[in-house]
Structure 1
Amino acid sequence: MLSAGLAFVAEGSGVAIGMALFYLFRIKNQRLIGMLFGSTSGLMIAMVCFNMLPEAFSIKNDLFVFIGIAIGVGFGLSLGQVTEFLNTKLHISGGKNMQAGLALLIGIAIHGIPEGFALGSFSNAPRETLMNFALIICLHSIPEAIALAISFKQAQATKGFLIAVPMVLGGIMSIGAVLGYLLSQVSTAFIAVSLGMAAGIILYVVCEELLPESRHIWNGRMTTLATILGIILGMLLVTSH
């Protein structure tokens, strides 16, 4: 299935690129990392507002779209609790740096499922839309991978472990893509619900996690500017096809 393969490649390559950039160029500039988080947040907002939601409303089942959005936001509200639960229940060894890195890894993996779900929901959309969203997922994964690499480098993680991280995250996102694809194939009403759910989850994650994280990393005007530029770039990607 195309969407599952794209999910694996997009997430896996984005994580691999981010970790490679950190180890090759020793990226530690907080301003740059904050701008990366801000710009990819802007890209995701543009994709949801100018592509995903218009695609959902074009099905003419507006009520189901709003139901999907409500379900997606509700699922987003539970993401933090799930992550916290896993972090407290898993007894991880390897020191504080390894614990921090694995906690972040769990969070990224959980967030990867709804992003994959969104990609799978686009299976009935034009291929250009699918490719654009996969590109955004790839770009969005780069700053997250840099944050992962910082903790794992300090924890002196092995090369084998680092190589496995992109494949694991890519595989988890593929599972989300399969779920999104299956639900969207049931009926047009389920397509509307699926796209609404994906939009609600992504908007919640961006507003609750990514944008605050970008400001936490670098609370400056360049982060805001990067977010605005990300939205504009996302609009250009959507309207260019």
Structure 2
Amino acid sequence: MNYLLYVSLIGFFSGTLGTVGGGLIVLLVREIKTKFLSIILGISSGIMTVVIFLDLIPEAQITGSIWSSLTGLFLGAMLISILDMLFPHQNFVSIDDDESHYLKAGILLAVGIALHNIPEGLAIGAGYSSADNLGLGLAVIMAVQNFPEGMAVATTLSLAGLKNVEVILITLLSGIPMGIGSFLGAYLGNISNLSLSISLGLAAGAMLYITFDVLIPDAHKKAEGYTAIFGIINGVFLGLILSNFL
């Protein structure tokens, strides 16, 4: 039980530090350069790509089989695609210049991010079930990946006229479900090698979908010159360092 609590807290802090940190950047800086966002999104996608193919998928196959890892991969991608259909996972939205519209968009965006944080937290929990360094590396990566999401929520809610305290509270709430996902990942990963393999595969599938459907396209969409590819390549370098030293 202490182990599950520990992993849940790691997931909780990973999710909330990322979203709240992103929200604080928006409130303190006010005007965020799009090229900065492009670089951050690129770095996140580069790191996640390395972890997916060098850590999660190989671990899923080692603990189970190619079939159990593929089953988890498929389930993870399907889960995120269903969430995307119900709650679009977009970093920035285009809406009319009206505070009520901004408020509605900000709340929906926060709910969507909160739901997406559950399978992302599952990756942390499953990672810890496999190896502590893998779980810790994933927690760091998820915190970094949550920065632009927190920035998106804070930007939209600020335009809606909400007070700074209210903005930070909502960004905090959107990050909490990562702790729930971490608990589920750690619990399922400790049942058997088969469940661990499927959980790792599911985490890889969820991250794969998010990386190639959200992070990389958004990095290029906000790019100025070569900022997106600069961020992606440096993210791959950082991912390799994390993979070998964490």
**TM-score (normalizing by structure 2):** 0.88
Please give the alpha-carbon distance, in whole angstroms, between the structure 1 residues aligned to 2:225 and 2:180.
Answer: 37
Once the two structures are TM-superposed, the CA of residue 47 in structure 1 deviates from its matched residue by 1.3
1:70 aligned residue: 74
Please give the alpha-carbon distance, in whole angstroms, between the structure 2 residues aligned to 1:183 and 1:141.
Answer: 24
Once the two structures are TM-superposed, the CA of residue 220 in structure 1 deviates from its matched residue by 3.5
Structure 2, unmatched stretches of 5+, are: 89-97
Are the aligned partners of 2:99 and 2:159 in contact in 1 as well (CA < 8 Å)?
Answer: no
Please give the alpha-carbon distance, in whole angstroms, between the structure 1 residues aligned to 2:53 and 2:47.
Answer: 10
Give the secondary-structure state (helix, strand or coil) at the position aligned to 2:63: coil
Once the two structures are TM-superposed, the CA of residue 171 in structure 1 deviates from its matched residue by 2.1
CA deviations on 1:193-219 (whole Å, 9 max, x unpaired) are 110011011101111112112222226
Are the aligned partners of 1:21 and 1:27 in contact in 2 as well (CA < 8 Å)?
Answer: no
Alignment of 1:50 onto 2:47: no
Give the secondary-structure state (helix, strand or coil) at the position aligned to 1:58: helix
Partner of residue 111 from structure 2, selected from 106, 109, 116 = 106
Give the secondary-structure state (helix, strand or coil) at the position aligned to 1:6: helix
Once the two structures are TM-superposed, the CA of residue 60 in structure 1 deviates from its matched residue by 4.4
Are the aligned partners of 2:43 and 2:232 in contact in 1 as well (CA < 8 Å)?
Answer: yes
1:194 aligned residue: 199
1:40 aligned residue: 44
1:230 aligned residue: 235
CA deviations on 1:158-180 (whole Å, 9 max, x unpaired) are 23422322431232111111221
Are the aligned partners of 1:118 and 1:198 in contact in 2 as well (CA < 8 Å)?
Answer: yes
Once the two structures are TM-superposed, the CA of residue 51 in structure 1 deviates from its matched residue by 1.3
Partner of residue 10 from structure 1, selected from 2, 14, 21 = 14
Once the two structures are TM-superposed, the CA of residue 94 in structure 1 deviates from its matched residue by 5.5
Runs of 4+ with >6 A deviation: none
Give the secondary-structure state (helix, strand or coil) at the position aligned to 2:191: coil
Output the amino acid matched with 1:190: S
Are the aligned partners of 1:13 and 1:166 in contact in 2 as well (CA < 8 Å)?
Answer: no
Please give the alpha-carbon distance, in whole angstroms, between the structure 1 residues aligned to 2:237 and 2:31.
Answer: 26
1:87 aligned residue: none
Output the amino acid matched with 1:20: L
1:96 aligned residue: 101
Output the amino acid matched with 2:82: S
Please give the alpha-carbon distance, in whole angstroms, between the structure 2 residues aligned to 1:221 and 1:124.
Answer: 38
Alignment of 1:132 onto 2:112: no
Partner of residue 158 from structure 2, selected from 153, 162, 170 = 153
CA deviations on 1:79-132 (whole Å, 9 max, x unpaired) are 211215xxxxxxxx9511112212221221121111001111122233222211
Please give the alpha-carbon distance, in whole angstroms, between the structure 1 residues aligned to 2:27 and 2:7.
Answer: 30
1:139–1:147 Cα change, 3 Å: same
Please give the alpha-carbon distance, in whole angstroms, between the structure 2 residues aligned to 1:168 and 1:128.
Answer: 27
Are the aligned partners of 1:3 and 1:177 in contact in 2 as well (CA < 8 Å)?
Answer: yes
Output the amino acid matched with 2:159: Q
Structure 1, 74-83 or 200-209: larger mean CA deviation? 74-83
Please give the alpha-carbon distance, in whole angstroms, between the structure 2 residues aligned to 1:9 and 1:65.
Answer: 28
In the comparison of the two structures, how many residue pairs are matched?
Answer: 233
Partner of residue 177 from structure 1, selected from 163, 177, 182 = 182
Once the two structures are TM-superposed, the CA of residue 44 in structure 1 deviates from its matched residue by 1.1
